[in-house]
Homo-oligomer: A and B are copies of this chain.
Amino acid sequence: MSTGHAPDIDRLIQLLGKLPGLGPRSARRAVLHLIKKRDPLLVPLAEALATVRDRVRTCSVCGNADTVDPCSLCADPRRATGTLCVVEDVADLWALDRSDLFTGRYHVLGGTLSALDGIGPDDLSIAPLVDRVRREAIEEVILALNATVDGQTTAHYVTERLASTGVRVTALAHGLPVGGELDYLDDGTLAAALQARKSL
């Protein structure tokens, strides 16, 4: 089947179609849009994408994705030490941080325990979390995990692993809708959940 355009354009359509939220048809429209808006959009987007490709890395302290290591959050002297907010994912870290409700430091687990997907404790950043709690003299660990079965299982497991450090472990209150994901919450619900956090 002819496509009416060169393989280079076709390849861009195929790759863009792999992004969440874009299918083959919307990817084609996006590419046509890019070609029409060459200077205001295509050129800067290619530049921004190359910059992120060249510079993005995982923070060796907390696991955030950033262009510097330690990341801008870990390096920010205005952020409170002593409290760690543990999240499943970089997306959750960004969601929480956009809400401006938490001013401490973060720790990204990199997923949740899942027997189904074969994800065990060693696949997550749990041992580094325990080290960090000891090394940084953390007083409170807030578990901001998704209110899913895997999220809550992981919360229990992390709590057990942290028991030997004597740190206070809290979790977001069940203001979270059951089965919901943190990244989709509005700030009001996030605020309520953070406010009503409880000791485990």
Contacts and interface: CB of A to CB of B under 8 A. Distances in A.
Interface of A: 1-6, 8-9, 11-12, 15-16, 18-22, 26, 28-35, 38, 41-46, 48-53, 55-56, 64-68, 71-73, 89-91, 93-94, 96-98, 100, 106, 183
* Oligomeric state, in copies: 2
A98 B67 contact: no
A26 B34 CA distance: 18
Given A9-B67, A66-B9, A94 B35 contact: no
B98 A2 contact: yes
A18 B41 contact: yes
Contact of A49 (B12, B55, B56): B12
| Interface SS of A by simple majority | helix
Contact of A26 (B20, B29, B73): B20
A4 B38 contact: no
Residue among A19, A20, A56, A98 having the largest count of chain B Cβ atoms under 10 Å? A19
Given A6-B66, A8-B56, A16-B45, 15 more contacts: A3-B98, A4-B93, A4-B98, A4-B106, A5-B71, A6-B55, A6-B68, A8-B55, A12-B51, A19-B22, A21-B22, A29-B91, A31-B52, A32-B89, A42-B53
